[in-house]
Structure 1
Amino acid sequence: MGWASCFRAFTTKRRKSSIPSYSSISRITCTHKSPFPDNAMPTRKLASKNVLITGATGFIGGHLVRANLKKKKHVRAFVLPGDPGEAALKKLGVDIAYGDISDYESVKKALKGIDTVFHCAAVVTDWAPWSLFEKVTIRGTENICRAAAQAKVRRFVDMSTNDVFGVDESAVMDETFPLRPWKEPYPDAKIEAEKISWRYHREHGLPVTMVYPCWVYGEGDLTFVPSLADAIVKRDLIFWRKDVLVWPTYIENLVDLLLLISEDPRAVGNGYLVHDGESVTLQEFCAGIADTLGVKPITTHIPYFLAYAAGIAMEGLWKLMKKKTRPLLTTYTVINLGSRFRFTIGKAEKELGWKPRVSYKEGFTRTMQWLKALDLESLTLK
């Protein structure tokens, strides 16, 4: 999840925002323990009928809406009034519940009659005021958890990110790794939100399942891949470390897992990493986009330490000058686009029998076919 935000930060014109000022978060460890005793764990799959999706106008949320409709579910989308994505949802016949995720009463109202919640709403950027992360990602999660617990929903599927496991390159990371703050707003806010979800799981029996997507891509992504493609065409992209690993997560593979865990009782009280089952280098991914667009691949590199120093300097300068635009480079961007993290999806495969239905090769091919038809200039963030 974090990869998309840092690419948008580096390769596109910047949105106006204030400089974040967030407090440090102590290192924590989260124990994913189900509220059901081992001998009382339900074994029968329970098909959901009435689904609420927060963040339904986003890339992942939109795919999740269509997938649930295809399974004949009644889908309710929690939408901020005036959201430009509202019209598309109405065309699909989705039940719209208007409200602000930071307003408990509107969230509570949206939960009436709901048995399954997919919580996808969050601030996804590396440069925004910490107050916005607190309002949407953290307080929003508190509100949806509280309302869902009171409504006694049967499933609560929470969208986290692989970022919450920190920046450890020494081992293959899995769901047993502790949550490790970065001292960066996006991942740290997601960690705080996750702590809230697990607290409601432990103290109120909320049937939480946490999902940790890696680098999500696919048809319908109108920010990440198009912005990256635009930067490649304009030669605005450079690399600062060779052989950087990325773990692509094709959108259909992610949605398959989300639907599975929304009905499988074995998923309650657990968290699952998800990707396509293989890694590629960042340069390989970008080269594939360049080949699709008929341009030369980007090969320019600068040393990692120089990029990180530049990120520190730019952030400091932007704060000193009290500029509201996004810096050209941030430390979060440098870390995310310059690391060799490794993740395993063994838990979902072993416990739930899930496997990526679409290979990375096929997912990338589909995405590139879709990309060719886009007007990149109109999609790049302004």
Structure 2
Amino acid sequence: MTDHRTTDADRPAPALDQHVFITGANGFIGRAMAERFRALGATVTGVDLVADPEHGVIAGDITRPEEWADALDGVDVVIHTAALLGAAYSLERAWHVNVLGTQRVLRAAVDAGARRFIHFSSIMAYGFSFPDGADETYPVHIEYDPYTDTKVNSEAVVLAAHTAGEIDVTVIRPGDVWGPGSVWVRSPIAEMVKPTGFPLPNGGKGVFTPVYIDNFVDGMVLVLAHAEETRGHIYNLTDGIGMPCRDFFGRLADMSGGKVVYLPMRIAAPLANLVGALIRRTGTHSDLAAGTMHMLNRTGTTSIEKARKRLGYEPLVTFEDGMERVEEWARESGLISA
């Protein structure tokens, strides 16, 4: 492998003299942000279902902030990442966490006197059938899917608070955040190495919208550093590219020795619903659902020109470099054979 990687010296590095509180702080994105923010001078604390005292994370449920809201005292910025991800939840449960939970965290932040609230939405707020180059002015679209529904509605909750002048709000719409240890690596490889393989609808022609974890964190550093340019705004944060799902997941299959199974959409969606429901009835979580197949069959790409022009955002880690790092991690962690 050719070592042509970016280093920390290449990355944006403004001084971050702020107290940042992250919900979902133990997650893949939360941990990566906290590490980088601390390196740039920020104080970082947070909440997650399981405490991590070493990293300033307390245990708590975002739908019950009254049990942990005192941890918001003195916080400048709340970054709300905690959510149920994917389509494999009932609409009622997804709404309870992703919409009601967001509203309750927001109220706690307002009551504590935090100045800013940065809300993680998703490019899925555009629905499944947005066109190439969709930017932040493209209308959101609620689909027959709990994830898109609740992401659209959670945005409405936080933007209403901004409009009312209660707190400065920024909405971030990440692409498919990937990298060593991410769900976009672990879960597909785990399925690929099974005899049944990893299912992709429509010949893998659907569009995957990657954003490598370091690139995403760099974007969030710039969001923190540019309060005026981000207040009241929505930003797409991706690698600025889209690719057929067969290309992204095909690379994971090649490195793992696994396989991808291509199914017509008319079969993939109902089959995913059936198999996923059976798996979940055993008490094991599965992301298989019709909505997952529709997500993997998206038609368009998203624009990052707004983040480029207003924040100076530029993804530094290329897809090839990211895949090299993923393969190294996968072999070192034992996810695939050395």
Q: Give TM-score, length-normalised by structure 2.
A: 0.85
Change (3 A) 1:254 1:334: same
In the other structure, the counterpart of 2:30 is: 61
Cα distance between partner residues in 2 of 1:361 and 1:328: 27
In the other structure, the counterpart of 1:52 is: 21
In the other structure, the counterpart of 2:98 is: 137
User: Which secondary structure does the structure 1 equivalent of 2:191 belong to?
Assistant: helix
Q: CA deviation at 1:311?
A: 4.8
- Superposed, 1:25-44 pairs within 5 Å as none
Q: Are 1:77 and 2:77 an aligned pair?
A: no
Q: Which has the higher contact order (CA 8 A, sep 6+)?
A: 1
When structure 1 is superposed on structure 2, of 254-263 and 224-233 the one drifting more is: 224-233
In the other structure, the counterpart of 1:332 is: 291
Gaps of 5+ in 2: 1-13
Check conservation: 2:241, 2:301, Cα contact below 8 A.
Answer: no
RMSD between superposed Cα atoms in Å: 2.6
Deviations 1:169-207 (A, max 9, x none): 444311111221112112211211111100111113411
- Superposed, 1:118-129 pairs within 5 Å as 118-129=79-90
Q: Are 1:283 and 2:246 an aligned pair?
A: yes
Matched residue type, 1:65 = A
- Superposed, 1:95-244 pairs within 5 Å as 95-221=56-182, 223-235=183-195, 236-242=197-203, 243-244=205-206
Cα distance between partner residues in 1 of 2:287 and 2:55: 39
Cα distance between partner residues in 2 of 1:108 and 1:148: 8
Cα distance between partner residues in 2 of 1:128 and 1:318: 10
Q: Percent identity?
A: 27
Cα distance between partner residues in 2 of 1:250 and 1:96: 24
Match of 1:245 among 207, 214, 219: 207
Deviations 1:213-247 (A, max 9, x none): 111101232x3312211222224223321322211
Aligned positions, number: 318
Check conservation: 1:164, 1:179, Cα contact below 8 A.
Answer: yes
Match of 1:94 among 34, 42, 55: 55
Q: CA deviation at 1:211?
A: 0.7
Cα distance between partner residues in 1 of 2:264 and 2:305: 34
Deviations 1:232-268 (A, max 9, x none): 2224223321322211110111111112111202111
Q: Give TM-score, length-normalised by structure 1.
A: 0.76
User: Which secondary structure does the structure 1 equivalent of 2:171 belong to?
Assistant: strand
Gaps of 5+ in 1: 1-44, 378-382
Check conservation: 2:16, 2:42, Cα contact below 8 A.
Answer: no
Change (3 A) 1:238 1:167: closer
Check conservation: 1:48, 1:115, Cα contact below 8 A.
Answer: no
Change (3 A) 1:67 1:365: same
User: Which secondary structure does the structure 2 equivalent of 1:51 belong to?
Assistant: strand
When structure 1 is superposed on structure 2, of 362-371 and 114-123 the one drifting more is: 362-371
Cα distance between partner residues in 2 of 1:278 and 1:197: 28
